[in-house]
C-alpha cells in the first residue's frame, strides 16, 4: 500500500495554495483535449506543474475498467500533495461506477426506495457497499448522500435521488449512509445545502429558487443537515438555489455569504469543508463569468471550488484577487488548512499517511 506525504500550508507556494481550492474535471488538466480522458500523460503532468489542483472529479466516461481506474487513480494521487479523487455514487440513476457495464458490482437502487423501507440499516449498508468498492478503485470522496427533502412533487432534478418526502425520514437515512461510507474509510458529502427538494426547475439548466422563508426551511430542509452535522459530516455541498425570502435577493446559495457563512457556519455551527456544486451548471454559468463565480464563492465562505468551466482562467482569477488584496492570504490559508487536515485524516485512517 502506497504512502503519501501532505505538506503543511506554510510549506506551499501561493500557486500550490490556490490549486488546493479547486477540484476539477480531469479533462481540465489537458487543455484542448477532445473526448474523455482515461489515463495520465506527460501533457497532464506538465500542466499540473503550472496549474496544480487539490483534486479531481471523475465521471462515468473516465472509468473503463478495473485495471484502468486503479492505474489512473494511482497516477493522479502521485501528481503532487495528494490530489484527492471525488465521484458521484448515490445509487439509482447517479452511479458513475455502479451503472458502468465494465464492472460486476452490486446494483443499488434509488435512495427513495431505500428510504421507503424506513430502515436506516439499509442506508448504512448501501454506503458500506459503495465505500468498499470505491476505496478499492482509489477514490477518496463519494459526493453523497443527498440530504434534500422532496416537498415539491414537480421536482425532477432530485426526485428519487432523495430518501423521502419528510425531513424526519431523510434525517434518519442520510447519517446512516454516511456512517456506512466511513466504515470503509471513505468520506461522504451531504448535499445540496440549503435544499433542492422544493424547487420546480433544474439548476443544471438555469435559474432555480425556493420561496420558503427561514422559518419554513428551519423546520424542514435544515433538519437533515443538522442531523448530518451532528453525525460528524466533514463535507457539505451547496445548491445553486436562490432563497429570495431569506436573503432578500436572487443570489444563488453557492455565492451567498448569508447562506454559507451566517447560516451554515453561524446558525448550524458547521465546521467542515464547504464545496460548491459544479460551477459548470447553468444556474451559475449563465449569470456569472467564470472568474467572478469562483471569487464570489470564496467570499461567501466556500472551501472547495468544484469543476469550474475553465480551470486556468478561474485559477488565474483567484491568483490576481489574492495579489490585489480582494481575497486575503488569511482567507486562503484558512481554507487550505481545512482541506489539508481532512486529506491527512483520510490517509491516516487508511494507514497511508507518510509522516
Q: Given 140, 142, 148, 277, which residue is catalytic? A: 277
Write out pLDDT tens, residues 186-203.
Answer: 999 999 999 999 987 778
Q: 46 an active-site residue?
A: no
Q: 77 an active-site residue?
A: no
Q: What pLDDT shows up at residue 334?
A: 98
Write out pLDDT tens, residues 149-187.
Answer: 999 988 888 999 999 999 999 999 999 999 999 999 999
Average pLDDT over residues 85-104: 90
Q: Given 204, 218, 262, 333, which residue is catalytic? A: 204
CA geometry: angle 110, 209, 278, nearest 5 deg: 60
Q: Is the dihedral of CA 32, 38, 43, 48 positive or negative?
A: positive
* Total-model pTM: 0.97
pLDDT tier, 349 (very low <50, low <70, confident <90, very high otherwise): very high
Contact 81, 20 (CB under 8 A): yes
Burial track 308-339 (b if 16+ CB lie within 10 A, e otherwise): bbbbeebbebbbebbeeeebeeebbeebbbbb
Q: What pLDDT shows up at residue 316?
A: 98
Amino acid at each position: 500500500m502506497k504512502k503519501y506525504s501532505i505538506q503543511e500550508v506554510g510549506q506551499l507556494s501561493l500557486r500550490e495554495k490556490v490549486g488546493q481550492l479547486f477540484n476539477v474535471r480531469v479533462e481540465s488538466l489537458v487543455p484542448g483535449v477532445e473526448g474523455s480522458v482515461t489515463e495520465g500523460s506527460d501533457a497532464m503532468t506538465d500542466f499540473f506543474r503550472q496549474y496544480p489542483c487539490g483534486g479531481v472529479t471523475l465521471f462515468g466516461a473516465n472509468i473503463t475498467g478495473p485495471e484502468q481506474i486503479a492505474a489512473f487513480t494511482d497516477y493522479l494521487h502521485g501528481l503532487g500533495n495528494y490530489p484527492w479523487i471525488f465521484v458521484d455514487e448515490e445509487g439509482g440513476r447517479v452511479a458513475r461506477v455502479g451503472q458502468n457495464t465494465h464492472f460486476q458490482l452490486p446494483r443499488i437502487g434509488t435512495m427513495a426506495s431505500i428510504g421507503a423501507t424506513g430502515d436506516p440499516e439499509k442506508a448504512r449498508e448501501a454506503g458500506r457497499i459503495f465505500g468498499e468498492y470505491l476505496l478499492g478503485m482509489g477514490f477518496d470522496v463519494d459526493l453523497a448522500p443527498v440530504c434534500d427533502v422532496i416537498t415539491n412533487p414537480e421536482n425532477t432534478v432530485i426526485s428519487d435521488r432523495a430518501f423521502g418526502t419528510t425531513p424526519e425520514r431523510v434525517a434518519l437515512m442520510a447519517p446512516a449512509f454516511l456512517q456506512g461510507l466511513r466504515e470503509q474509510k471513505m468520506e461522504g458529502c451531504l448535499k445540496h445545502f440549503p435544499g433542492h427538494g422544493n424547487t420546480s426547475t433544474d439548476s443544471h439548466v438555469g435559474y432555480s429558487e425556493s420561496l420558503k422563508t427561514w422559518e419554513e426551511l428551519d423546520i424542514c430542509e435544515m433538519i437533515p443537515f443538522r442531523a448530518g452535522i451532528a453525525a460528524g459530516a466533514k463535507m457539505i455541498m451547496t445548491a445553486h438555489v436562490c432563497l429570495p425570502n431569506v436573503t432578500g435577493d436572487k443570489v444563488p446559495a453557492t455565492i451567498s455569504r448569508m447562506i454559507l457563512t451566517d447560516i451554515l457556519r453561524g446558525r448550524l455551527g458547521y465546521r467542515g469543508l464547504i464545496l460548491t456544486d459544479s460551477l459548470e451548471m447553468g444556474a451559475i454559468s449563465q449569470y456569472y463569468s467564470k472568474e467572478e463565480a469562483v471569487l464570489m464563492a470564496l467570499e461567501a465562505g466556500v472551501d472547495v471550488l468544484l469543476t469550474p468551466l475553465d480551470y486556468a482562467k478561474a485559477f488565474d482569477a483567484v491568483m490576481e484577487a489574492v495579489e490585489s488584496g480582494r481575497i486575503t492570504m488569511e482567507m486562503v490559508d484558512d481554507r487550505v488548512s481545512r482541506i489539508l487536515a481532512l486529506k491527512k485524516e483520510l490517509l491516516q485512517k487508511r494507514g497511508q499517511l507518510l509522516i
